[in-house]
Amino acid sequence: MVVGDTAGHAMPALAIAEAYREAFDTELIFLGARGCPSTRIIQEAGHPLELVPASAFVGAGPVAKLASVARLGPGGWLARRILASAGSRLVIGTGGFPSGSVLPAARSLGLCLGILEPNAVAGLANGLLGRIADRIWLGSSGVASAFASRPSLITGTPVRAEVARGLVELSRTPLVGRPLRVLVLAGSRGAFLAHRAPELLGLLRARGNAVEVRHQDEQGDLPSLRRAWEERGIAARLEARIEDMAEALQWADFAFARPGASTLAELALAALPALLVPLADAARHHQTRNAQAFAANGAALVALEEDWKPESVADRIAQLALDPRSWLAMSTAARSQATPDAARRIVGDCEELMRGRW
């Protein structure tokens, strides 16, 4: 398994790895780059991890771009040695810059090669490397045209079993007679959400809506955030990381989140209405496209950073909270996009791809 630099690369990879180990007696190794959030997540999950020379190309300056290209050769050489030594037969990439050296190395060894593209727009690495893949697994049909020349399968985005098990049978009922429970998922680059959430929900409270908050913020200053919530008279539980995401999603009535593909897959399984705020500088504006695609059937509200109008957004949330039928319609629309069997489908397809090759 090859993971890029973010949690959004690591979580689907872990979900596929779990599904593989549940179905088969399989030896798994992960490859990634040093110092990335994804590699920390893989290590904490207890999986073997090998590091290869790689660095970001998209969004980097001229010197960093040259350094990224220069690392492709050494990274590919080391990846080839790791894969050959492990006796690998299958390599799965989830996007990001480490794929640039590892996937061509896998192809040079004649290994079976698959790529997961969970976003509504193809990333640079996946778009280029899809040409050499045996299969591309897609999070949605909207990105299929980017891989028109290669065999693809729409599977949805894999969600880790520990999260999916707690959500797949969840039955939602409209909010009645208690405060609105809001889950703020700021993620690893959530400064905008972290600073706007107290103001936004403070406006909601000022309109007469009682609010309770659970706020996840991996990078933020939690004491400062706690003061911001207290100043607005809102009870907030702050956490750098949420250990039991299924429980948090079950608790909430509404989410305030970035529209990363993994987050959207979890919101869909949880049938949880949400306000989605795309990361303004996300590569190829993929988060904006993710949010637009997810919200197209009424599954969420969308607000852009550059068009942020807190009073207007607060009005939209208040209308939803006060109208059980609208809230339930949004919940149902979110659940309609859930794909709880995505990881199992990918594993089954991998076995079909390898059938007869070894």
Give me the numbers of helices (H) and strands (E) for the chain, helices first please.
15, 12
Judge whether residue 282 has pLDDT over 90. Answer: no
C-alpha distance from residue 202 to each of 14, 131, 231, 233 (Å)? 37, 49, 9, 8
Q: Are residue 324 and residue 179 in the same domain, yes or no?
A: yes
Residue-level length of the chain: 358
In a domain, 2, yes or no: no
Q: Are residue 88 and residue 191 in the same domain, yes or no?
A: no
pLDDT of residue 253: 95
CA-to-CA distance for 158 and 352, rounded, in angstroms? 18
Average pLDDT of span 69-82: 95
Judge whether residue 252 has pLDDT over 80. Answer: yes
In a domain, 171, yes or no: yes
In a domain, 245, yes or no: yes
In the sheet that holds 135-138, the strands lie side by side as: 90-93, 112-117, 135-138, 152-154
Specify the 3-state DSSP secondary structure of 2: strand
**Average pLDDT of every residue of the chain:** 92
pLDDT of residue 235: 86
CA-to-CA distance for 9 and 39, rounded, in angstroms? 10
Average pLDDT of span 174-196: 84
pLDDT of residue 358: 62
In a domain, 1, yes or no: no
pLDDT of residue 46: 92
Q: Which domain holds residue 251?
A: 165-335
Q: Are residue 203 and residue 309 in the same domain, yes or no?
A: yes
Q: Are residue 153 and residue 173 in the same domain, yes or no?
A: no
Q: Which 8-state DSSP code applies to residue 224?
A: H
Average pLDDT of span 44-70: 90
- Domain total of the chain: 2
CATH classification of the domain holding 301: 3.40.50.2000
User: 83-107: string of b/e by CB count within 10 Å (b at 16+)?
Assistant: beeeebbbbbbbbbbbbbbbbbbbb
Q: Are residue 243 and residue 294 in the same domain, yes or no?
A: yes
C-alpha distance from residue 105 to each of 4, 75, 89, 91, 112 (Å)? 16, 9, 12, 10, 11
Q: Are residue 182 and residue 311 in the same domain, yes or no?
A: yes
pLDDT, one tens digit per residue, over 5-25 is: 888 899 999 999 999 999 998
In a domain, 257, yes or no: yes
Q: Are residue 75 and residue 186 in the same domain, yes or no?
A: no
pTM: 0.93
